[in-house]
Amino acid sequence: MTGETDRITDAEIGERLRLAREGAKLTQADAAALINAARTTIVAIEQGKRRVQMEELQKLATAYRTSANAILRREAVHLDLVPRFRKLAESGDDAIERATRLLNDLVRAELELENALGVRRPRNYPPERPILPGEVRTQAEQDAQELRDWLGLGSGPIADIVSILDLQLGIRVYVRQLDGKVSGLFAYDETAGACILLNANHPNERLTQTGAHELGHVVSTRRQPEVLTEDERFASREERYANIFQRNFLTPSRAVRQRFAEITAGQSHLTRRHIILLAHAFGISREAMVRRLEELKLAREGTWDWFLANGGITDEQARQVLGDFPAQLTIPVLARGLVPPRLALLAREAWKKEIYSEGQLARLLQLDRHGIREILDGAEKEESEANELVKLPH
């Protein structure tokens, strides 16, 4: 039975209702009409000055696309990421709206599981470095290299950006299918911390680039929400910084120059094979690789445009080249499960402890039954194999 001290207050209920209403894009007048009351009644409820009746709560929760249980549950977390993104976009773009709502729901779900299990996500964020006046290039290059050094990455490729963000830095990162135009979203909340959503429909190379771009915002402007779309022109200084940071984080100039010298040794022309091998070595797209070579003056400006005008660099050509590429140099497939590694562990632990059922977890994480079974599969075997000798100390 829930103790009196565990009961959430009227003010907390009111705040949760306000966030849910704003997320549903309803006004206080709209909400008042739902319960046949004056707008001032909704104001009083949201301010915690009037207790909402259960019948009113059920009507409001249904209209807000949530449930009375979600509003009242102590472990439940209610965020306002959606209204913040809406103010940022101001375009009414449905694709961005759906993506921001999904990010909000996934962050809320992870926080709820943490609350239920009594754990907290450790944050290992790099020091925040506000963008200084003047040209951003030098600062972005320096910040990217310092972060690589701080993480102990050396000059090697970034094989799995999701694990770096999730496990090494403690950033909440999710990879889900989004509209093709949305590459990624970033938000920072004092309670949730840094949160990133990446598009699972995009190729691994592009997803890696987007993850590194959003990491640039974590470093520089983490308190400003950001949406990265395919037609982004990086017009603002913040976007220019993030784009330059991404290129230098994924393809450090010294490492690129060294690998370029090795691959093109004794050659007189830059060929498609060179580009394919370089792009594969650094885990980025072929276009991004050529653009980086142009930027470092290792290729003439306009080289990528020349390739495009002459048939491009196709996936079939890449398969032909990489088919005989030494296996030890291939980059592992990106870890892009339905939920990131840490969240999967939380879900399995909550299920094993019978805090949540399979169906409740599926709804919480917005997965179908097949998806949640993928996450929970093996949890029973893990439990049966438990041994006191390997039990974790507390």
| Cα–Cα dist 13/345, whole Å | 30
The pLDDT value recorded for residue 125 is 93
DSSP 8-state class, residue 371 = H
Are the CB atoms for 249 and 212 separated by under 8 Å? Answer: yes
The pLDDT value recorded for residue 80 is 67
DSSP 8-state class, residue 177 = -
CATH superfamily of 1-74: lambda repressor-like DNA-binding domains (1.10.260.40)
Q: What are the residue ranges spanned by the domains of the chain?
A: 1-74, 253-329, 341-390
Alpha-carbon distance values, 43 to 22, 72, 84 (Å): 13, 19, 20
Alpha helices in the chain (DSSP H): 10-23, 28-34, 39-46, 54-63, 68-72, 81-89, 94-117, 137-151, 161-163, 204-220, 237-250, 253-263, 272-282, 286-295, 303-309, 315-322, 341-352, 358-364, 369-376, 379-384
Long-range contacts of 314-318 (CB under 8 A, 24+ apart): 317/272, 317/276, 318/276, 318/280, 318/286
The pLDDT value recorded for residue 78 is 57
What is the enclosing helix (H) or strand (E) of 225? none
The pLDDT value recorded for residue 383 is 53
The pLDDT value recorded for residue 261 is 93
| Parallel/antiparallel/unpaired status of strands 193-199 and 172-176 | parallel
Q: Running along the chain, 394 residues long, what does each successive block of 10 average in pLDDT?
A: 57 85 86 92 92 90 81 66 62 79 88 87 91 91 94 86 91 90 90 92 91 94 86 76 94 93 89 92 92 94 94 90 56 53 87 87 86 77 50 49
- For residue 112, the cross-strand partners are none
The pLDDT value recorded for residue 148 is 94
Statement: the pTM of the whole predicted model exceeds 0.75: yes
Residue 189 main-chain phi, psi, to 5 deg: -130, 140
